[in-house]
Structure 1
């Protein structure tokens, strides 16, 4: 009986190039919205943007609480919906926050919001986690277009993503502490989620921020492994982009440009590129990032 053939090695990805001189404690939530790249430094509560990698970053908002990620609010120029502090808020053009809900205020352990994104139907999704990473303390929340905030999933330790296919039929969500990415079917009308399916389990590092390209490939930053992975829709590891920083945290696709954030937090001796933002040229582009579309813009 012949031995089974070894699985093919994933293709090596392009070499990333560093952007800007700023180094972030916990850079995440990077997206291209219209004419700007937008990202957050979570624990400092800062929302930053720049039109390109050669222009200086500017602070768009500074919150007194951690800021996990944002999406623009359609019909309200300069406004954002945000996963921040213990809940969801709207950030106005003046940088002030108006809270929609703070569902983690009464949690048994101190909590904060983490990664978040809008889906192609205009809803906003945001995950929560315990500051001390208490097992299964986190949740995933959905903000519907009418502004209702609902808990969609529980029992997550460190939620990252989510990321959605272009038709919004499938959602990917990483539970970083468990080293696993799960997929869920999505009801397009209600946003209700189906039962989870294990999509990918990582042997090294933890899946972090994610995005989906136009061919349905899932890209994820791999915290602790200095890499970004691309998975085919069937879960096969297709490509590995090596990052010159051990803690990649967020990714987005701006056309054929892959943007990667990283973090310095937790490193005993951060190197010169820890906390930097990187770009790399990739073959498969990404679609435009989705925005939150309220039924009645403020």
Structure 2
């Protein structure tokens, strides 16, 4: 073991203190929401709940799971996320693989045109008019097709193909009679599971948390994703369907509304929280890959 100097020990201590502070700042809100969702709403409103649940109750979860609109929004979000992620992965692969090949003429120009769209876009109104002319307004495809690919993810996947898969392997397969499709399916993709996991994580989290496109393009509540329902609950306090205010006092209605808000936040974020631990190492690797633009 190399003996650390006094300066190195001080540096490590400062780093641990800073990282510990960041961990507390990031983790505490999540812990508080989880604790508040199963605590007495009155104790939460009065500021009596910090880290330990008080007067445990699951009334908020009961009201959430008994509300058909929330369950329908949850199912819609799952459908949008699964279908959208599949489309995203396919489109990203079809764009990244050709750009990774040195024998593609004009690939630098094409890449530059792609990157240009990261800084400049047509704007919301022209995009809406195009979506409307294509007949996708108030359909699932309005949430998927306009965001079918992300340029940043194309760059990440293209860089992975260039840096991690030797061109000699592809040339050997080509000599054996494989065309570009077979090289992609039988050589490149089996060796690209880490970056595919990263792309799946990126795209699925984006779809799961997205609500703005649904707010713009969807008009029927039956097609709303969960995040749009959650937005109404958190911002507009649209609780009439879940709380019988005519039978309860206004104060109790406010208490129940608080418990429902925390319960919905936990339910909405639970799938993502369960997904991250399994893909964390791929996530870190993807960020490192994305740092290399050559």
Q: Normalising by structure 2, what TM-score? A: 0.22
Which TM-score applies when normalising by structure 1? 0.22
* Structure (1 or 2) with the greater helix fraction: 2
Structure (1/2) with the larger strand percentage: 1
Q: Which structure has the greater CA radius of gyration?
A: 2
